[in-house]
C-alpha cells in the first residue's frame, strides 16, 4: 500500500471509529471531518471515493439502528432461506461456490509436518492481508499490522510445515473477493484445520448473504444446536480465514457490533462497505 493510501485508510478507519462511538448524536459532516483533521469538502470526497457513498449514508449503514433493522426486517427468514437455497441467492457473494475441505488428522499431525504452505502479503480495502495456501486451497487469511507478527501467527498454527513465500493461483483467486466484479471468479477452495463442529459453523457463516447480518443464536439454530450459542461464539472467534468466511456478519442479538479478531473498527468498516456496495 502506498504511503498516501495508508494515510487515507487510517483516516477513514479513524472516522468510522468516531461514527461508531457517536452515532446516537448523528454527528454532522463537519464534526466527523474535524475528528480526522480534514476540511469537510476534502473529507467528503475522500470518504466517498473509498466507500462509494457519502459519510452520512455510510453512517446509517454502520449504526446500531441499522443492525437492529436488518435483524427485524430480514433475519426472520434468513435461516429458512439459507437452508433452502444455500448459495443460490441473488447477492454477488452467492454467485461464488466456496468449498471447505477439512484437513485430515494425518495432514495436521505434528504441527503440519510434511505440509507445504505458500504464503504472501497483499493489500485490501481494510488494510494489510496475509494469505496462505496448501495444494488443496486457502488455509489461512488474516489482517495484520506487522509482517513479522503475521508470519509468526501463521507459523504457530503450523509450526512444522514447509513455508515458501510464493503467490499462487489459489491466493490470487481468493484475493479477488475484494473486487467489485466477482462474476469472473473461479471456485474458491479452503483447506482448513478444524473440528467437525467448527467446520459446520464456518459453513453456516458462508450462508449469510452479503449486506445481511446474523446473530450467534441464529447461527446455533441454523446448525440445529439452539443451546450452543457460547460454543458458536468460540468457533466463530477461531475463524482462520478473514473476510471469505464472513464472521464479521455476526453481531449480538441486542444489535451491538460484538467482538472481532481483527478489531471492531475494521468490523464496522466491512459491514458498512458491504452494505454500501449492495446499495450501489
Helix axes 196-205, 229-237, angle to 10 degrees: 80
| DSSP code of residue 93 | G
**Is the distance from CB of 130 to CB of 119 less than 8 angstroms?**
yes
List Cα–Cα distances, 244 to 31, 56, 118, 213, 224, in angstroms: 34, 28, 18, 15, 23
Catalytic residue among 32, 67, 154, 247: 247
Of 171, 183, 182, 232, the residue nearest 203 (C-alpha): 232
Which grid cell is 60?
A: 446509517
Q: How many Cβ atoms from other residues are within 10 Å of residue 83's Cβ?
A: 11
**Is the distance from CB of 142 to CB of 151 less than 8 angstroms?**
no
Q: How far apart are CA 125 and CA 83, in angstroms?
A: 31
| DSSP code of residue 91 | S
Instruction: Tell me whether residue 139 is one of the annotated catalytic residues.
Output: no
**Is the distance from CB of 20 to CB of 13 less than 8 angstroms?**
no
- CA pseudo-torsion sign 261, 262, 263, 265: negative
Catalytic residues: 247
Amino acid at each position: 500500500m502506498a504511503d498516501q493510501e495508508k494515510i487515507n485508510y487510517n483516516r477513514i478507519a479513524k472516522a468510522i471509529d468516531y461514527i461508531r462511538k457517536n452515532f446516537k448524536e448523528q454527528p454532522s459532516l463537519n464534526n466527523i471531518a474535524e475528528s480526522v483533521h480534514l476540511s469537510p469538502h476534502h473529507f467528503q470526497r475522500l470518504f466517498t471515493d473509498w466507500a462509494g457513498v457519502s459519510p452520512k449514508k455510510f453512517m446509517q449503514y454502520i449504526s446500531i439502528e441499522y443492525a437492529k433493522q436488518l435483524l427485524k426486517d430480514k433475519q426472520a427468514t434468513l435461516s429458512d432461506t439459507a437452508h433452502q437455497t444455500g448459495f443460490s441467492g441473488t447477492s454477488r457473494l452467492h454467485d461464488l461456490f466456496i468449498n471447505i475441505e477439512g484437513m485430515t488428522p494425518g495432514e495436521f499431525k505434528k504441527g503440519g509436518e510434511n505440509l507445504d504452505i505458500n504464503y504472501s502479503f497483499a493489500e485490501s480495502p481494510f488494510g494489510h492481508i496475509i494469505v496462505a495456501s496448501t495444494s488443496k486451497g486457502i488455509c489461512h487469511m488474516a489482517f495484520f499490522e506487522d509482517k513479522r507478527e503475521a508470519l509468526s501467527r501463521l507459523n504457530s498454527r503450523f509450526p512444522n510445515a514447509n513455508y515458501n513465500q510464493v503467490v499462487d493461483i489459489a491466493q490470487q483467486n481468493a484475493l479477488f473477493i475484494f473486487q467489485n466484479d466477482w462474476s469472473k471468479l473461479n471456485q474458491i477452495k479452503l483447506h482448513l484445520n478444524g473440528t467437525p463442529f467448527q467446520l459446520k459453523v464456518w459453513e453456516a457463516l458462508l450462508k449469510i448473504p452479503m449486506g445481511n447480518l446474523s446473530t450467534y443464536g441464529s447461527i446455533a439454530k441454523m446448525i440445529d444446536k439452539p443451546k450452543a450459542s457460547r460454543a458458536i461464539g468460540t468457533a466463530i472467534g477461531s475463524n482462520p480465514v478473514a473476510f471469505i468466511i464472513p464472521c464479521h456478519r455476526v453481531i449480538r442479538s441486542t444489535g451491538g457490533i460484538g467482538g472481532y479478531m481483527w478489531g471492531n473498527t475494521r468490523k464496522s468498516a466491512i459491514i458498512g462497505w458491504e452494505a454500501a456496495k449492495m446499495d450501489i
